[in-house]
Amino acid sequence: MHVVDTNFSFPASHAFIRACQEAGIPRNRDLNGFNYEGCDLFQVNQTPEGRRCHASSSFLNPVLHRDNLTVITHALVARILFQGKRAIGLEYYPLKKNKRLMTLSAKKEVILSAGVINSPQILQLSGIGPGGDLEKLGIPVVHDLPGVGRNLQDHPDVIIRCLDKSKTSFCTSPGPHTLKFLSRYFSKNPPFIFTPTDAGGFVKSDPSVEIPDLQLQFAAIRMQPHGHGLLTPARFGFVLHVCHMRPKSRGRVSLRTADPFDPPRIEPHYFDDEFELDALVKGVKIGRDILSQPAMKAFNGGEEVPGPAVKSDREIRHFILEKMETVYHTAGSCKMGVDDEAVVDPELRVHGLESLRVIDASIMPTITGSNIHAPTVMIAEKGADMVLEEMR
């Protein structure tokens, strides 16, 4: 993994950082440091050549040539196989070969690394989970483990979107800075290191909060969440994401049916504890305050979302409940621990079973207070060390 500084950004992003300082938020040159409160340009996971780093490109691709590695893609795991309480393999469907059920045997152990949604789904399909729920679906119970699928956590997020009267943001319509962006992108000289949400930081929703509980992410592009609204970036604008990083609400992942092709039921239970809803109301007000500072005067052409009609705390709450989105930071559905709801122990082995581990973000007892990618890589590296140490 390579963590590097961006080398391309839009004028509005730098103005946003100045506006944060004008609003009393300090500039912090190391948002990944011990004290991460403040604002600045974000660092990104990219190679020095400008290519995006992800787990596959950083860890898997370099070792694909190894004789002791076989990668099977376009496959769906149906269930883990057991001999008593010992994991001995799995069944899967190769999706490009008529979905004919295939079996893989394990000589040492099975490592489940399917993510926060699919890891608990596969465990439950395999008979590991809340026994009563599994019996209702006709799944033989291998091990009654109530915590499987519970403790689901996520970071709720809303955006403030404004028009850019300077017309210097990224836009799919012709503009000088759009052309500059495309020129830098295609030239690759020097390497193009950029992320749309290139500026932001961490702030407290309230002075009484001990550590920052809100993340701000600024992007000099008029957008909608999840890439919706393909014509949205056809006008000049920018957005500010306000994300609550320390939720108290807990959801769950459960099965709809015993068919592995059926998606699981995901119940995030956002705002079951209104603590995070109240924090986001304050976060929207903090974001508006930043965007109204003198540094943003040349850029802010008027708020579109939530819009000037949304003023009171009650109206902001209603906006959040209507427009809140996920930023795909889920965690916790197979939590590590030694309590009654824990799924794996401190060595990531599934409680009550042999030769089975879960190694992914689902094992987090509590969600991290920032983006979840780097901590998940750390979990994988630590988990790999544990596997190797046990083999030794």
Predicted confidence (pLDDT) per residue in 31-70, tens digit: 888 889 999 998 888 777 777 788 888 899 999 999 999 9
Question: Do 191 and 287 have their domain in common?
Answer: yes
The verdict on 222 and 316 lying in the same domain is yes
* Residue 101 in this model has a pLDDT that exceeds 80: yes
Domain contains 356: yes
The enclosing H or E element of 23 equals none
Q: pLDDT at residue 2 above 60?
A: no
pLDDT tens for each residue of 228-263 = 887 788 899 999 999 999 999 999 999 999 999 999
362 & 229 share domain? no
Which of 326, 358, 374 finishes a domain?
Answer: 326
- Of 326, 351, 368, the domain-final residue: 326
Determine the pLDDT at residue 323. 95
* Rounded mean pLDDT, 79-94: 97
Whether residue 1 is contained in a domain is answered as no
Judge whether residue 277 has pLDDT over 90: yes
In a domain, 196, yes or no: yes
Is residue 340 within 8 A of residue 320, CB to CB? The reply is no
pLDDT of 205 above 90:
yes
**How many domains does the structure of the chain reveal?**
2
pLDDT per residue as tens digits for the range 293-347: 999 999 999 999 999 999 999 999 999 999 999 999 999 999 999 999 999 999 9
Which residues belong to the active site?
A: 329
Q: How confident is the model at residue 189 (pLDDT cuts 50, 70, 90)?
A: confident
Asked if 18 and 167 sit in the same domain, the reply is yes
Note whether residue 48 is domain-resident: no
Same-domain pairing of 148 and 158: no
- Is 50 domain-assigned? no
**338 found inside a domain:** yes
Residue where one domain finishes, among candidates 309, 326, 343: 326
Whether 162 shows a pLDDT value over 60: the answer reads yes
pLDDT surpasses 80 at 140:
yes
Pair 10, 61 in one domain: no
Q: In this structure, what CATH number is given to the domain that contains residue 196?
A: 3.30.410.40
The CATH number given to whatever domain includes residue 102 is 3.50.50.60
The secondary structure of residue 83, as a DSSP letter, is E
Query: Same structural domain for residues 66 and 164?
Result: no
Q: How far apart are CA 154 and CA 280, in angstroms?
A: 14
Residues 98 and 179 grouped into a single domain? no
Does residue 141 sit in the same domain as residue 176?
no
Residue 194: pLDDT over 80: no
Q: Give the pLDDT confidence score for residue 243 in this predicted structure.
A: 97
What's the pLDDT at 4? 60
Instruction: Note whether 70 and 107 are same-domain residues.
Output: yes
Task: Tell me which DSSP letter residue 96 carries.
Answer: T
Predicted model pTM: 0.92
> Residue 98 — very low, low, confident or very high, per pLDDT cuts 50/70/90?
confident
DSSP E strands: which ranges in 155-235?
Answer: 156-164, 199-203, 214-219
Average pLDDT, the chain: 92
Q: What is the mean pLDDT of residues 211-224?
A: 94
In b/e form, how buried is each residue of 81-118, taking b as 16+ CB within 10 angstroms?
bbeeeebbbbbbbeeeeeeeeeeeebeebbbbbbbbbb
Q: Print the domain residue range for 385.
A: 56-152+331-391
212 and 317 belong to one structural domain? yes
Q: How confident is the model at residue 5 (pLDDT cuts 50, 70, 90)?
A: low
> Residue 249 domain-assigned?
yes
My answer on whether 20 and 128 are in the same domain is no
> Which residues are CB-neighbours of 78 under 8 A, at least 6 positions away?
90, 91, 92, 93, 101, 125, 260
Asked whether residue 49 is assigned to any structural domain, the reply reads no
* pLDDT given for residue 170 in this prediction: 85
337-382 residue pLDDT tens: 999 999 999 999 999 999 999 999 999 999 999 999 989 999 999 9
Residue-wise pLDDT tens digits, 102-137? 999 999 999 999 999 999 999 999 999 999 999 999
Average pLDDT over residues 279-283: 98
